[in-house]
Structure 1
Amino acid sequence: MKLIRIYTLTATAGQDAALEAALGALKAIVTAIDGCEQFVVGREQKPAGLYTVLEFWTTVEAHRVSGSAIPKSAFGPVMGALAGPPTITDFLQKL
């Protein structure tokens, strides 16, 4: 069954550009992993600094094993630009 993972991120004030650059670099890594169908980044119009990342995976298992393919150093720039930890929600695609 396909997995959709949704991250809600809040950038530290003044760190939008840094977060967007870090997410762009992370996207390049994640989309190269077998099983990743899409990695979409959206920014809310208001309030400033609120982002949503959607990852689409072929299966729950593909997502589970992807963690070992992502260098931990790829998360540092993302986490360094955040005001707090992200909210993560997983959905199983039904339709």
Structure 2
Amino acid sequence: MRLAWAICAGLLLGIGVAWWLSREAPGKTEARQRRAEQAAAAQARDARPSLYRWRDDAGVLQITDKPPPDRPFQRIDREPDRAIKVKGDSAD
């Protein structure tokens, strides 16, 4: 009978330790939520069409849809044209 109680106590203790070690700390959950919100905001920002303004070697102003790899540029965010009706858009 003592052996059965010892086995039950060992199992309960093992389950308790496993649960304790597998749970997340409260701060970790909040940090993960913050990272998810930041990623969603960055994705929404990147989903908007953008243009890039920069100057070439001759000093001529260039405006392109891709940033230059080797020189400073300014990002110009544009709003999509709202005159175009998108299927499922309920802006009526």
* Short-chain TM bin: under 0.3
Larger strand proportion of the pair: 1
Q: Which has the higher helix share?
A: 2
Q: Give the number of the structure with larger relative contact order, counting CA–CA contacts within 8 Å between residues 6 or more apart.
A: 1
Task: Give 1 or 2 for the bigger CA radius of gyration.
Answer: 2
